[in-house]
């Protein structure tokens, strides 16, 4: 097995295990994984334009509209007109949405702490730049700018 094959297999396994972990964490809440993902993106910011939020989630604005409609009915997000662009709608968390986000974020922090505790100081120091580079490559590929073969 080549190094590329080994890393590719590990990335698939990482994705599968993170997805399974995320599903297990979300299953006891009243939300779907997509809804929680929306809250995760909105949590650290005051608000985002629908188009920006859809791009961050990798979904269409139509799909996002359905998701936001449901979250709005649950009282977790609110829509607001943009102050300078009448065509844009901003979405932000309500106090209840912020509470969901904060509780869920604590799960991520605990998992990260558990993971970091298994690393040497040098491994932990190398992790941030490596993951940052991986994210950059994934962003390029999601924009159609990366190599396909």
- Model confidence over 76-90: pLDDT tens digits? 999 999 999 888 999
Q: Is 47 left (phi over 0), alpha (psi -120 to 50) or beta?
A: beta
Say whether pLDDT at 101 is over 80: yes
- 145 falls in which pLDDT band (50, 70, 90)? low
pLDDT of residue 144: 65
Please answer whether residues 63 and 22 qualify as being in contact, where contact means their C-beta atoms are separated by less than 8 angstroms.
no
Residues 10-35, mean pLDDT to the nearest whole number: 93
- 146 falls in which pLDDT band (50, 70, 90)? low
Alpha-carbon distance of 107 to 69, in angstroms, equals 26
Give the containing element (helix H, strand E) for 57: helix 50-57
Angle between helices 50-57 and 33-42 (to 10 degrees): 120
As a whole number, the mean pLDDT across the chain is 93
pLDDT of residue 147: 57
Could you give all domains of the chain from N- to C-terminal order, each with its CATH number? 30-118 (1.10.10.10)
User: What global pTM score does this model have?
Assistant: 0.85
């Amino acid at each position: 097995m080549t190094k590329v094959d080994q890393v590719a297999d590990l990335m698939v396994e990482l994705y599968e295990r993170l997805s399974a972990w995320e599903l297990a964490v979300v299953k006891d809440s009243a939300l779907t994984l997509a809804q929680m993902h929306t809250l995760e993106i909105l949590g650290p910011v005051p608000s985002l334009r629908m188009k920006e939020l859809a791009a961050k989630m990798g979904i269409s604005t139509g799909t996002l509209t359905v998701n936001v409609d449901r979250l709005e009915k649950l009282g977790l997000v609110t829509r607001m007109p943009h102050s300078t662009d009448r065509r844009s709608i901003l979405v932000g968390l309500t106090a209840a949405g912020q509470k969901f986000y904060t509780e869920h974020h604590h799960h991520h922090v605990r998992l990260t702490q558990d993971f970091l505790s298994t690393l040497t100081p040098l491994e932990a120091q190398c992790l941030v730049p490596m993951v940052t580079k991986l994210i950059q490559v994934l962003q390029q590929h999601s924009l159609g700018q990366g190599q396909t073969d």
